[in-house]
Structure 1
């Protein structure tokens, strides 16, 4: 009698564990599909806003859902559902590269549909008006330019026409291949013009490899940094966390 009872309890315990794990996986899938998806930053194109080694949550509901919100990007529908909110200038968004929809990029929205965007001597103009640029303290501490030996980079506070402000870096003294002056870009309907905050080290809408980004390709809006390790460190090496984690960046809002 006791052996049978014990076996039933053991089987019940195993079954309950399996059910808990299954339910947890379903909940995680629902959260990842409809609410928040984690991403990590592999490059310095968004410095100083986002650093290599940052881990952040992207809200997938901010602009509605497209096929790229779904697991495996299943093409079950076109456009976005439900309609409503659209990206605003200054939003930091994750999107699928138009030329390779298996690749995720993260940049800042600079131009909206119908906008005319031009870069002149490193200053962005939107619809013929240069955005406000205020010189602030240099960015130091981590390599940000194509030349890794430059450890101090000029930094500006850029204010877009809607009042959103953010920091941008200026590596122009490094003689980079990134254009300081461009032609005028006219953003087509239903598309957005993206730029990295590290302007001289960012492949973005200024380049044909990225170009204008269709609204449908936007995965979601970057919201919060939930974890961060120093560049070159591995997040899974928990024994190094006392020295590798950037504690001051944890749970900071992405702006």
Structure 2
């Protein structure tokens, strides 16, 4: 068993090493599921086979020692060398391969269940959601807000809330579902979303933009125009780069499902959101690859609603909820 356990950890190290170096994309949910199953098997074997065997061997050792002492006592020898307690403790001790498998099962299982059904941590990898979220923000995602889904396969089994305009949503990237993206929900099923000349319109109603003080991005060392928008009565901030053209370059547009629902022009894009799908955009409007480029987010791709920043190691003051 020690050899099998060693091989398991060797494979795990190779998988994590390739993931870390970018040789392949990892699936953390699948990894936790596999580790939960494997450590559960060890835990069951420990509880019903290995531990009873060690306890039986320890009990036999104690019985043999007691029998030996009783025999010696009958011969008038009351002082017997040897401490059977140390040997008993050694027999009861878990071998390393059980300590690092069965012993980890409760922790791995708890993390798997919490991450699958309650809250999942997420690190902001890019500046597409500036100024709401910046690179390095560590956030929590509510996994049950949009319904309970089975882990790994992401199949919804219990309905809950539907996404609303203005929600900051984490979802599986439609082009590559191994990746998670985070954007703001702008269009719901049936909505007509227009982003023309850097102004957002939903179902023919322009979304008011209120100018704010310019935003300074310390990473790019430049200022951007900043505005306040309101979706579903909730205010959030956006950035607009006046030096960039309003249209989406044709070569940057993916060939996505329901692309015929979108009309591209020199002014921007107009899309009719199909049933069961959502139109999402980044708050950093001119620095975001979003539904304008790769299409709609299907309901089956939803992961959860982002709601709080719990840490940013580059700026420890970034903490709290956001809209």
TM-score calculated relative to the size of structure 2:
0.63
**For residue 199 of structure 2, what is the aligned residue in structure 1?**
123
> The residue matched to 1:165 in structure 2 has which SS?
strand
CA distance in 2, matches of 1:100, 1:21: 32
Q: 2:296 aligns with which of 212, 220, 223?
A: 212
Q: Please tell me whether Structure 1 or Structure 2 has the larger radius of gyration of its CA atoms.
A: 2
Checking the alignment, whether the CA contact within 8 Å between 1:178 and 1:200 is kept in structure 2 is no
Is residue 278 of structure 2 the alignment partner of residue 192 of structure 1?
yes
Verify the 8 A CA contact 2:171 2:304 in the aligned structure 1. yes
For 1:36, which of 113, 119, 126 is the aligned residue?
Answer: 119
Give distance in 1, aligned partners of 2:97 and 2:244.
61
Distance 1:214 1:17, change over 3 A: closer
The structure showing larger relative contact order (alpha-carbon pairs under 8 Å, at least 6 residues apart) is: 1
Distance 2:247 2:194 in 1: 17
* Structure 1: stretches of 5+ with no match in the other structure: 231-245
Q: Please state if 1:156 is matched with 2:156.
A: no
Matched residues in 2 for 1:206 and 1:16: separation? 51
**Residue 108 in structure 1 maps to residue 187 in structure 2:** no
Q: How does 1:6-25 map to 2 (within 5 A)?
A: 6-8=89-91, 10-11=93-94, 21-25=104-108
Q: What TM-score do the two structures reach when normalised by structure 1?
A: 0.79
In structure 2, runs of 5+ residues without a counterpart are 1-83, 250-265
- Structure 1 residues 203 and 13, CA, compared in 2 at 3 Å: closer, same or farther? closer
Aligned mates of 1:99, 1:13 — CA distance in 2: 43
RMSD of aligned Cα (Å):
2.5
Q: Which has the larger share of strand?
A: 1
Indicate whether 1:253 and 2:321 are aligned: yes
C-alpha offsets along residues 200-252 of structure 1, whole Å, 9 cap, x if unaligned?
00011111xx201111111111121122133xxxxxxxxxxxxxxx11113x1
Residues 24-71 of structure 1: CA distance to partner in whole angstroms, max 9, x if unpaired? Answer: 1110010011111111111100001110011111111011134xx513
The count of aligned residue pairs is 224
Cα gap change, 1:216/1:10 in structure 2, threshold over 3 Å: closer, same or farther? same
Corresponding residue SS for 1:249: coil
Q: Which whole-Å deviations, capped at 9, do the CAs of 1:165-223 have from their partners, x for residues lacking one?
A: 1000011225587588323211111111100000000011111xx20111111111112
Residue 85 of structure 1: which of 152, 155, 161 is its match? 161
Shift in alpha-carbon separation, 1:177–1:123, aligned structure 2, 3 A: closer
Counterparts of 1:129-140 in structure 2, within 5 Å, are 129-140=205-216
Secondary structure, aligned partner of 1:89: coil
The residue that corresponds to 1:242 in the other structure is none
Partner secondary structure for residue 292 of structure 2: coil
Deviation string for 1:91-143 (max 9, x for gaps)? 00111122221121100000111111101221100011110111111111424
Which of 110, 119, 122 is the equivalent residue of 1:27? 110
